[in-house]
């Protein structure tokens, strides 16, 4: 297999016959991302950046670009496996990709906070089933697990948190239930839907969820929830610029989405020159508050 290893690897980089993982940013500037660190960022008004990552190299590049949180999202079903939705992703597949991402970070002394999705069917049966699935992801290298939905999930979140497993919740458009929702649509638009979302978000914070992805939710509602949930960091995707942080699917922000681009996506590749520079541009834009732009990317 042909390879083009860098002739003069930069110190700190990790050389293999098939390529060189990028060096992490200088160690003195880096502090491992942890729950206390995320809370400090939140309190200081420093926006939290998150991207999805599914393999060792992209994870290492994202870490070196300064992305604080990496989500091993079950969106890998669509972008890596070619599935029509996230419904078909198995726990074994999530473990495989979580291990890959964690190994990539270890090789470059990465410091990102790793969140892994509990896939469809891996936490629905019982709290005990959720615990077994969450333990498998934590043992694969995750620092936190994410699960979708509110109401019935509250007690599962409490059960996991009480057992030392940090949990990220996910409300609004929850892709695992796309068939029940009738498609990929904005959620929380009616007064009743917004009331339910507010109630579920509060319950999830009270149960100990330290993070909450808000997907395709009106910007005003996401901002209101962010102001209300001081200990549960809202991470928006199609939820406007008033959340504590932002997440995008890696392939979307690199312009590799072959289908129709969702309104909330921005392609950071043009003009960036490299994947790492595109990720740095994303981090910069989120921190500066220029992405997302409510007039363009939100409802
Ligand atoms: O699986 C995923 O990538 C996600 C994000 C869209 C938040 O859940």
Residue whose CA is closest, atom 8 of ligand 1? Answer: 73
For residue 117 and ligand 1, the question of a CB distance below 6 A is answered with yes
Predicted confidence (pLDDT) per residue in 17-57, tens digit:
777 776 665 555 668 999 999 999 999 999 999 999 999 99
Residue whose CA is closest, atom 2 of ligand 1? Answer: 73
- Cα separation, 132 vs 74, whole angstroms: 18
Average pLDDT by consecutive 10-residue portion of the chain (299 residues)? 40 68 62 94 97 97 95 98 97 98 90 98 98 99 98 98 98 97 95 98 98 98 98 98 98 92 96 95 97 97
For residue 75 and ligand 1, the question of a CB distance below 6 A is answered with yes
Tell me if 22 is assigned to some domain: no
Q: What's the pLDDT at 56?
A: 95
Q: What's the pLDDT at 5?
A: 37
Q: What's the pLDDT at 16?
A: 72
Tell me if 158 is assigned to some domain: yes
CA 108 to ligand 1 center in whole angstroms:
25
**Regarding beta strands 113-117 and 69-72, do their DSSP bridges make them parallel or antiparallel, or are they unpaired?**
parallel
Strand partners, 52: 71
Residue whose CA is closest, atom 6 of ligand 1? Answer: 249
Which has the closest alpha carbon to 298: 248, 262, 250, 272? 262
Q: What's the pLDDT at 249?
A: 98
Q: What's the pLDDT at 6?
A: 38
**Residue 114 CA to its chain's centroid (Å):** 8
Tell me if 141 is assigned to some domain: yes
Count of the separate structural domains present in the chain: 1
Residue 201 near residue 154, CB atoms below 8 Å? no
Helix axes 191-206, 219-228, angle to 10 degrees: 30
CA 7 to ligand 1 center in whole angstroms:
37
Tell me if 197 is assigned to some domain: yes
For residue 78 and ligand 1, the question of a CB distance below 6 A is answered with no
Atom of ligand 1 nearest to the CA of 249: 3
For residue 247 and ligand 1, the question of a CB distance below 6 A is answered with yes
For residue 52 and ligand 1, the question of a CB distance below 6 A is answered with yes
Tell me if 1 is assigned to some domain: no
Predicted confidence (pLDDT) per residue in 100-144, tens digit:
999 999 888 889 999 999 999 999 999 999 999 999 999 999 999
- Cα separation, 247 vs 14, whole angstroms: 27
Residue whose CA is closest, atom 4 of ligand 1? Answer: 73
Out of 117, 171, 235, give the residue to mutate to test ligand 1, the one with the largest number of ligand atoms within 8 Å of its CB: 117
CA 107 to ligand 1 center in whole angstroms:
25
Q: Residue 218: which CATH number?
A: 3.20.20.60
CA 249 to ligand 1 center in whole angstroms:
7
| pTM confidence score | 0.93
Q: What's the pLDDT at 12?
A: 55
Q: Which residues are catalytic?
A: 215
CA 67 to ligand 1 center in whole angstroms:
16
- Which structural domain range is residue 144 located in? 28-297
Tell me if 12 is assigned to some domain: no
- Grouping H, G, I as helix, E, B as strand and the rest as coil, residue 229 is coil
Tell me if 5 is assigned to some domain: no
For residue 74 and ligand 1, the question of a CB distance below 6 A is answered with yes
- For residue 77, give Cα distances in angstroms to 93, 260, 289: 9, 17, 30
Q: What's the pLDDT at 23?
A: 66
What are residue 54's phi and psi, to 5 degrees?
Answer: -130, -10
Tell me if 240 is assigned to some domain: yes
Q: What's the pLDDT at 14?
A: 66
């Amino acid at each position: 297999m042909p390879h083009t290893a860098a002739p003069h690897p930069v110190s700190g980089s990790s050389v293999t016959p098939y390529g060189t993982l990028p060096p992490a940013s200088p160690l003195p500037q880096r502090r491992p991302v942890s729950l206390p660190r995320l809370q400090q960022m939140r309190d200081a008004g420093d926006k939290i950046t998150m991207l999805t990552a599914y393999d060792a190299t992209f994870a290492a590049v994202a870490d070196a670009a300064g992305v604080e949180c990496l989500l091993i999202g079950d969106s890998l079903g669509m972008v890596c496996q070619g599935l029509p939705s996230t419904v078909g992703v198995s726990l074994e597949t999530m473990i495989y990709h979580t291990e890959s991402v964690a190994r990539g970070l270890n090789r470059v002394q990465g410091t990102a906070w790793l969140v892994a999705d509990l896939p469809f069917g891996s936490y629905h049966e019982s709290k005990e089933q959720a615990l077994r699935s969450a333990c498998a992801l934590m043992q694969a290298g995750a620092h936190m697990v994410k699960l979708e939905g509110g109401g019935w999930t509250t007690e599962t979140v409490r059960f996991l948190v009480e057992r030392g497993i940090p949990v990220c919740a996910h409300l609004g458009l929850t892709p695992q239930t796309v068939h029940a929702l009738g498609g990929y649509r904005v959620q929380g638009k009616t007064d009743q839907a917004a009331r339910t979302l507010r109630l579920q978000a509060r319950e999830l914070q009270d149960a100990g969820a330290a993070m909450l992805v808000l997907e395709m939710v009106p910007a005003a509602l996401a901002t209101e929830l962010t102001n209300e949930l001081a200990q549960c960091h809202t991470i928006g995707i199609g939820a406007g610029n008033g959340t504590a942080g932002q997440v995008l699917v890696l392939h979307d922000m690199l312009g590799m989405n072959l289908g129709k681009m969702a309104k909330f996506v921005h392609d950071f590749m043009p003009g960036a020159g490299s994947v790492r520079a595109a990720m740095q541009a994303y981090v910069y834009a989120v921190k500066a508050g220029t992405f997302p732009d409510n007039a363009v990317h939100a409802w």
